[in-house]
């Protein structure tokens, strides 16, 4: 149990690495003071550049994927591997959303959640990606597409995994609700007609 708790802490600290802040900082920009102020890949895309946004998105995905997928394989503990991977992944997402390195003010968890889900529920990720693309192409809102995917993934999770591993479906539901809650300001801006839409520049929500 001590080892398991230690890995949870490690996963949190890995998830808390603020790649958006670090990458933007290397380019002389404090990502918290430009654009939306969000510490995520979308804001890096807008404020720093496309290639830096891709790098940020990839890093944020990996910091969710690696704890969820690798830790249960490399260091088995007295917890079912699927459940251990989920819990490690949740700790990484918590680190991204509330990073100790930035005063617990982080990103919205979409990319890191996607990384975790790739490690434990890849079929649901595929369905979520399809929904993301449909909503994005239809509305041009990255944030709304992210919310749509966040709702589709737990829905598909109950369908795909609910009978055999309900714990997985429950965790997917919790993660989806966290992503929706973290996008509440975006939804408010959509209702007000002031949310940024995709036009000429590429975006990825994180």
pLDDT at 109: 86
Task: Decide if 38 is inside a domain.
Answer: yes
pLDDT at 200: 45
Task: Decide if 7 is inside a domain.
Answer: yes
Cα dihedral 76, 77, 80, 83, rounded to 10, equals -100
Task: Decide if 199 is inside a domain.
Answer: no
Task: Decide if 198 is inside a domain.
Answer: no
pLDDT at 60: 97
Task: Decide if 202 is inside a domain.
Answer: no
Number of domains in the chain: 1
Task: Decide if 134 is inside a domain.
Answer: yes
Range of the domain at 153: 2-192
Task: Decide if 203 is inside a domain.
Answer: no
Residues of the chain short of pLDDT 70, as ranges, are 79, 199-206
Residue 198 CA to residue 193 CA, distance in Å, equals 14
pLDDT at 201: 45
Task: Decide if 43 is inside a domain.
Answer: yes
pLDDT at 199: 62
Residue 116 CA to residue 72 CA, distance in Å, equals 13
């Amino acid at each position: 149990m001590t080892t398991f708790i230690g890995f949870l802490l490690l996963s949190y600290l890995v998830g808390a690495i603020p790649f958006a802040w670090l990458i933007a900082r290397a380019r002389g920009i404090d990502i918290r003071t430009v654009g939306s102020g969000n510490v995520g890949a979308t804001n890096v895309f807008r404020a720093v550049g496309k290639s830096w946004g891709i790098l940020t998105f990839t890093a944020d995905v990996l910091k969710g994927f690696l704890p969820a997928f690798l830790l249960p394989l490399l260091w088995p503990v007295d917890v079912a591997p699927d459940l251990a991977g989920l819990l490690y992944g949740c700790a990484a997402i918590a680190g991204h959303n509330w990073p100790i390195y930035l005063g617990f003010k982080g990103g919205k968890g979409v990319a890191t959640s996607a990384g975790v889900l790739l490690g434990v529920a890849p079929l649901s990720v595929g369905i979520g990606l399809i929904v993301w693309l449909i909503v994005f192409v239809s509305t041009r809102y990255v944030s709304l597409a992210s919310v749509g995917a966040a709702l589709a993934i737990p829905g598909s999770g109950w369908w795909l995994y609910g009978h055999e591993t309900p714990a997985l479906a429950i965790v997917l539901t919790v993660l989806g609700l966290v992503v929706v809650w973290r996008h509440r300001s975006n939804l408010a801006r959509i209702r007000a007609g002031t949310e940024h839409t995709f036009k000429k520049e590429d975006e990825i929500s994180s």
